[in-house]
A = this chain, B = another copy of it.
Amino acid sequence: MPAAINRQVVLKTRPNGIPQAEHFALTETPVPTIGERQILIHNDYLSVEPAMRGWVSAVANYSTPVGIGEVMRSFAAGTVIASRHPGFAEGDKVMGMFGWQDYAVSDGSNVTRKVIEADLPLSLSLGILGLNGVTAYFGLLDLGQPRPGDTVVVSTAAGAVGSAVGQIARLMGCRTVGITGGEVKTRLCRDEFGYDAAIDYKADDVDAALADACPRGVDVYFDNTAGTISDAVLRQLAVGARIVICGTASVASWDPPPMGPRVERHILVKRARMMGLLVFDYAHRYEEAVARLAVWVREGRLRYREEIVEGIEYAPGAIAELYRGENLGKRLIHLASR
């Protein structure tokens, strides 16, 4: 039998910009009992994503914002501990939108997938074999359309998505250039993720470093930051460049949108394509990406880093920490079975 208490992190007030610990509250409710065609999941790992900033924002977005008093929306990976659903058995490992809480009841509709890679850690289903890996895979291959020999530039290059983009681009025969902040992360880019060049936007002259690293211009720019980093990359596009907009980590608030140099002339003169990426649009092809990524992981050709902390108490401040750029790998919160 599950413990009687379900700890939940709920949205207390709506932030303008990056959510801080004070915007959340930790509450306790009884663990629910399940009905016909339902399962009870114990969340072994909770995910922390940059996208969560958007999920709690009142500004127009791709999904309804989390309501005040509701459990924080989140991907989680867990174990089915009770099932009255014909599609799930006790012991099944599942990944889905189970929220920042110990236990989730599901009718299956919020289960993204059963985790079938039993030889690999369950936590990977929230990172390199989860949204991060799948985002990198389709964003780079489907939208970025890299060709062997192309120069691919990645911002937040050492991050959970960025590091996968850089490595997949390299597997495709591209020259890869990572932009990241600080010496530790630039070293990580070069030594661990195999970038041909790594630029420290905090220390380097980004324009000069880009010109040096991309002598024939930038063919693909996988953008996780927006802001002045993107401004610098756009000045060095090659003809026919593809710009994949995956995130806007450098922009603290979009209400109102910040000002920057207009992009139209770059797009026009270079006949470039700037495209928005939302991984949920690839839900129907999710397994295709995970299968390919898992092969690369098993072969040791696709590396990943995780930073796993213990306890749901960590969750409220986790998004703000992510935006401070302090983590060196996919941030996950482990919840012990009780």
CB distance from A248 to the nearest CB of B (A): 5
Whole-angstrom distance between the alpha carbons of A3 and B266 in the complex?
45
- Tell whether, in the assembled complex, residue A256 and residue B261 are in contact, meaning their CB atoms are under 8 Å apart: yes
Q: Please, which residue of chain B has its CB at the minimum distance from the CB of A259?
A: B259
Q: Please, which residue of chain B has its CB at the minimum distance from the CB of A260?
A: B262
- Tell whether, in the assembled complex, residue A248 and residue B265 are in contact, meaning their CB atoms are under 8 Å apart: yes
Select one of B60, B227, B256, B262 contacting A269, CB under 8 A.
B60
- Tell whether, in the assembled complex, residue B61 and residue A269 are in contact, meaning their CB atoms are under 8 Å apart: yes
- Given A259-B261, A262-B226, A264-B226, A274-B274 contact (CB < 8 Å): yes
Whole-angstrom distance between the alpha carbons of A230 and B257 in the complex?
14
Whole-angstrom distance between the alpha carbons of A273 and B230 in the complex?
17
- Tell whether, in the assembled complex, residue A269 and residue B261 are in contact, meaning their CB atoms are under 8 Å apart: no
Asked whether A254 is an interface residue with its Cβ less than 8 Å from the other chain, the reply is yes
- Given A226-B264, A262-B257, A273-B275 contact (CB < 8 Å): yes
List residues of chain B with CB within 8 A of the CB of A66: none
List residues of chain B with CB within 8 A of the CB of A230: 264
CB distance from A184 to the nearest CB of B (A): 27
Among A247, A260, A261, A269: residue with most chain B CB under 10 A: A269
- Tell whether, in the assembled complex, residue B260 and residue A259 are in contact, meaning their CB atoms are under 8 Å apart: yes
Whole-angstrom distance between the alpha carbons of A227 and B265 in the complex?
11
- Tell whether, in the assembled complex, residue A276 and residue B272 are in contact, meaning their CB atoms are under 8 Å apart: yes
- Tell whether, in the assembled complex, residue A247 and residue B268 are in contact, meaning their CB atoms are under 8 Å apart: yes
List residues of chain B with CB within 8 A of the CB of A259: 259-262
Interface residues of A in 28-76 (CB under 8 A from B): 54, 59-62
Q: Could you jot down 30 A-B contacts, CB within 8 Å?
A: A59-B265, A223-B264, A230-B264, A245-B264, A245-B268, A246-B268, A247-B268, A254-B265, A256-B261, A257-B261, A257-B265, A258-B261, A258-B262, A259-B260, A260-B260, A260-B262, A263-B274, A267-B275, A267-B276, A268-B276, A270-B276, A271-B275, A271-B276, A271-B277, A271-B281, A272-B276, A273-B273, A273-B276, A274-B274, A274-B275
Contact surface of A with B, Cβ cutoff 8 Å = 54, 59-62, 223, 226-227, 230, 245-248, 251, 254, 256-278, 281
